[in-house]
Each structure stands twice: as structure tokens, then as C-alpha cells.
Amino acid sequence: MIFRQEFLTIKTKKRGFYLITDDILHTVNLKDIKTGLMNLFLKHTSASLTINENVSYEVWEDLENISSSLVPDGDKYLHYLEGKDDMPAHFKSSMFGVSLNIPISYGKLQLGTWQGIFLCEHRSNPSFREIVITVTGESDIFLNNRDI
């Protein structure tokens, strides 16, 4: 039985959807896990994590545009002292969520062909965003030695 925890910080440049699948896979070792689950948890309230299309940057821009069109920046919110983009960022964080759970089979994430993992930065300014990666699973010695 494996319980593994790693930490990853992503630097964002501005509001937008950032593909981080490879960052995750470079941070945590899944090779020795036969069957398991990976939990990703983002420690922030104005950004989020999601899974979506991993190739087309047009999809990433549309995801951002649609969410900002549903919850536009503005000073009409009760909470706006930190900027017109602050409260919409809080809402989007709850709409998309800050926690993902992805199954693992024979050392690999069970992502579909077109699925990638995204950090969604909902604030306008650059930021550092921390992610906790927790992996639980059943180990397999054969898998562990496969790549050695």
C-alpha cells in the first residue's frame, strides 16, 4: 500500500488556462503503482484545476472567455477592493473546483486521449500557485523494476 505526497508550484503569467500534465508527471512517481488514484489539490481561492482538451489552444482561450463572460469583472460586487477581477476569480474557483481525482492503472494516469490537466488562473496578475499531489495505490514490484 502506497501513500505518497509531493508539492508543485506553478508560476502563472496572467489570467488563462495552463496545461500542467507534464509538470505533474515530472513531480510524482507513478511507475510502481498497479491500481491507484492521484489527488491534485490547489491551495488557493482565486484559481482552479480542471481537465479539458489537451491540444487546441483555442479551446483554452474559449474556456477563459466563456467563464469571464458568465462572471464579468466589475465593481458591482460587495467584495471588490482587491480589484475588479477578484470576486469573479473567487466564483470561478468554486465553479471549476480546486481538487481533481484521476485513476492510475499499471503506472499510468487513466486520462482519455484528449484529456489534459489544467491550472486555471483567474486573476489578471502573475502569481505562484501551489498544488499538493497525493497518490494512493497498490504497489507492484514488477512494475517498479520495469524501467530500471
Q: Which is nearer to a copy of itself, 22 or 61 (CB)?
A: 61
Using the rule CB under 8 A, is 53 a contact of a copy of itself? Answer: yes
Choose, by CB under 8 A, the member of 15, 44, 122, 123 that binds a copy of itself.
44
Is the separation of the CB atoms in 42 and 48 below 8 Å? yes
Q: Which is nearer to a copy of itself, 23 or 111 (CB)?
A: 111
Would you tell me the crossing angle of helices 57-70 and 86-96 to the nearest 10 degrees? 120
Helix (H, G, I), strand (E, B) or coil at 71: coil
Residues 110-129 that bind a copy of itself (CB under 8 A): 110-115
Grid coordinates standing for 60? 483554452
Choose, by CB under 8 A, the member of 10, 59, 73, 143 that binds a copy of itself.
59
**DSSP per position, 15-47:** SEEEE-HHHHHHHS--TTEEEEEEEEEE--SSE
What is the C-alpha separation between 144 and 52, in angstroms, rounded? 30
**Strand partners of residue 121:** 16, 47
Interface region with a copy of itself, contact rule CB under 8 A, candidates 8-16, 22-30, 51-59: 51-59
- Kindly list the residues in this chain that would bind a copy of itself in the complex (CB under 8 A): 1, 3-5, 34-37, 39, 41-45, 50-53, 56, 58-59, 61-63, 65-67, 70-71, 77-79, 87, 90-91, 93-103, 105, 110-115, 130, 132, 134, 136-138
